[in-house]
Homo-oligomer: A and B are copies of this chain.
């Protein structure tokens, strides 16, 4: 069987470009309107996408009100989408730093039940400054601690998801025995940061547990992904870093006794599609005209630990001294380093760098006709950079409709993408093996 690629729709309500909310082609719907998300999910499902993915941030943005913000909470929204879709996977972001394992385990098990086995969990450690204050802390949890918490959090919920196997349900009306109590056992997880007794009061879900998705690129993020991730979302401005990331995480997985194909690597791609190259380029130009350097500077500053770029002229090529030392940047060091490399290599001015990042915040952007975009995708897929893509339409729904209607059929004709779903679960869409429920979790006490 030929290797097939995978597609997630990474949905931002009006599109990924920071000017999209103002663009005449973006949806008029409110960010809190369920129908916006239903429309997007149905386009993705009709195109046989593996999943729809919702990011999450635990703080309100502080950008002078210049960017669209204030959408729905992902777990509730995905639960509603579960009821309005039938085949597509549903991946939600939830933090291991600011969540409660017992509640988290219940909600994601429920989502997997509600969707008939289509749930995925994007495991994040919440780097956003000020998130701690929303959760009652005096300061944010430090980067190293966040990964220690993350390991324990996943161990805890993993143990809970094994504590009440659905096979324990007898539902024997005649004998009056609903459960086999011997098969329901406490998780009894006792870590340094998290403890939970269990058992869970939701039976194991169609997939056993949600698919584990992860997106960290730091050293600790990669180590975490190698142990846990079944799918990885990753951000690269160029193919070369995507290739080295791809081979690195596939290699690391083997140290945990896993096979390379047990992890699906999905770089982000934000494609502007037009009937000619010129028309595609115009999409970016129109979007760039709708952004403000103020917003881009604030976003860049956040990636560099709050560094102030306001003294740097917008229109001369950047030099290394314009940036702080990335070794001092804790939260998102790998992305910060990537930004510096690209700026210097391509001789970008600050304005040009901001424009490059405005499209997809450090993810790869493509520009061209459907055929040209399909060529890029095929090239990454065949050259060890990707098992598929996290598709990040710059304008919703317009640019996603074009991707689904024009790019996907080309890849299908080339035998690179499915004609139809072959299974019913997200894990089967991703071509992953079922998890082994009956292996007791090694780390529970």
Contact = CB atoms under 8 A, between A and B. Distances in A.
Interface stretch (A58-66, A232-240, A311-319, A406-414): A58-66
Contact of A203 (B70, B80, B114): B70
A98 to B, nearest CB: 7
A194 B34 CA distance: 31
A188 to B, nearest CB: 9
A134 B156 CA distance: 11
B179 A58 contact: no
Interface stretch (A104-112, A251-259, A262-270, A326-334): A104-112
Given A69-B178, A100-B99, A76 B134 contact: no
A148 interface: no
Interface string A87-123: 0000000000011111100110111011000000000
A140 to B, nearest CB: 12
B65 A179 contact: yes
A198 B170 CA distance: 46
Contacts of A199: 60
B32 A130 contact: no
A116 to B, nearest CB: 9
Contacts of A65: 168, 170, 177-181, 184
Nearest to A119: B76
A381 to B, nearest CB: 35
Interface string A184-214: 1000000000111111111101000000000
A67 interface: yes
A304 interface: no
A273 B266 CA distance: 58
Q: What range describes how many residues of A lie at the interface?
A: 35 or more
Contacts of A102: 58, 98, 134-135
Nearest to A131: B102
Contacts of A171: 21, 30, 68
Contacts of A173: 21-22, 24
Interface of A is mostly: loop
Interface string A131-147: 00111100000000000
A367 interface: no
Nearest to A68: B178
Nearest to A57: B201
Contacts of A365: none
A47 interface: no
A71 to B, nearest CB: 7
A386 interface: no
B83 A136 contact: no
Nearest to A133: B197
A292 interface: yes
A404 interface: no
A348 to B, nearest CB: 24
Interface in A28-45: 30, 32-34, 38
A326 B202 CA distance: 33
A77 B68 CA distance: 29
Interface string A387-403: 00000000000000000
A13 to B, nearest CB: 12
Contact of A76 (B79, B100, B133): B79
Contacts of A98: 100, 102-103
A164 interface: yes
A327 B55 CA distance: 50
30 contacts: A24-B173, A34-B82, A34-B83, A34-B114, A60-B184, A60-B199, A60-B200, A61-B201, A66-B176, A66-B177, A70-B203, A72-B113, A73-B103, A73-B106, A73-B109, A76-B107, A76-B110, A76-B111, A77-B79, A77-B114, A79-B80, A80-B114, A98-B103, A99-B103, A101-B136, A133-B195, A133-B196, A134-B196, A136-B194, A176-B290
